[in-house]
Structure 1
Amino acid sequence: MIDVRRLDRERLEPAYGLLGQRLLPWPALNAPFEGAWCVLRAGTGSTPHAHHEYEIFIAVSGAAEVVVGDERRPFVAGDVVRLPPGTPHQVVNDGPDDFEYYGVWWDAEMAASFVARHEAGPR
């Protein structure tokens, strides 16, 4: 059986200064993480923020920069960025094209919930 969760580009919602769709959690998938497809329009930047979760960004298309504190690094399709908990961060797209990436985040509570669901077995 193949189970597909579709991205709906017509229903992207604003969050953190960009557009996105949360594709995880997904009731059919018992995962210890959550995630969202993110679109950063040309000439914009996400809202600088920090949070308690671990997070990675996976660049899918286009080019942007990741800003952490005073450091700016190029972030292009195929790159993965790791952000430890509490790290203030922002993605900036100064280019002429949209930048798309997938964000995945997790914390100890998500991991513990995953283990409990896993041990309980299929529903």
Structure 2
Amino acid sequence: MIEIRRLDRENLTRAYGLDSERLLPWDVLNAPFEGAWCVVRPGDVSTAHSHHEYEIFIAMKGRATLVVEDERRELVEGDIAHLIPGTTHQVLNEHDADFEYYAIWWDTDMSAAFVARHEEKKR
């Protein structure tokens, strides 16, 4: 079985200084991670934050600046950035077009819950 969810650009939710659509809830998906499609509009800066999860950003469209602690790096479509837990990070779009990326985050609790759900389905 395959199920495809399409990004609904007209109904994104504003959070952390950017527009996004969360991966969950999605009834058919059992995954050891969470995620969100993120759109950083021209001139927008995401809220600087840190958390206990590991995270990757997959740049899909455009370009932006990723700031992690005191380091600034350009992020362009096709790039993947890995963020370790506890690092303060934010995304700045200083360009004339939207920057779109997919964020995926995970921790050991998410992994353990995935394994438990997976084992339950096998019974």
Q: Which TM-score tier does this pair reach, normalised by the shorter chain?
A: over 0.9
Aligned partner letter, 1:52: H
Query: Per-residue deviation at 1:26?
Result: 2.1
| TM-score, with structure 2 as normaliser | 0.95
- Matching residue of 1:21: 21
Deviation by residue 1:80-110 (Cα, 9 ceiling, x = unmatched): 0101111100011101111000000011111
Q: Distance in 2 between matches of 1:106 and 1:115?
A: 13
Q: Give the structure-1-normalised TM-score.
A: 0.95
CA RMSD of aligned residues (A): 1.3
Partner of 2:85: 85
After superposition, give the CA deviation of every residue in 1:22-71 in whole Å (9 maximum; x if it has no partner): 02342201100011000000111101000111100000000001001111
Secondary structure of the residue that 2:39 maps to in structure 1?
strand
Between Structure 1 and Structure 2, how many residues are aligned? 123
State the distance in 1 between where 2:29 and 2:65 align: 31
* Identity value in percent: 64
How far apart are residue 122 of structure 1 and its match?
5.2
Q: How does 1:64-103 map to 2 (within 5 A)?
A: 64-103=64-103
Counterpart contact for 1:25–1:34, Cα < 8 Å: no
CA apart distance, 1:2: 2.2
Unaligned segments of structure 1, at least 5 residues: none
Alignment of 1:102-113 (within 5 A): 102-113=102-113
Supply the distance in 2 between the matched residues of 1:38 and 1:29 (Cα, whole angstroms).
20
Point out where structure 2 has 5 or more consecutive residues left out of the alignment.
Answer: none
Q: CA deviation at 1:10?
A: 1.0
Give, in whole Å, the separation in 1 of the partners of 2:38 and 2:119.
Answer: 32
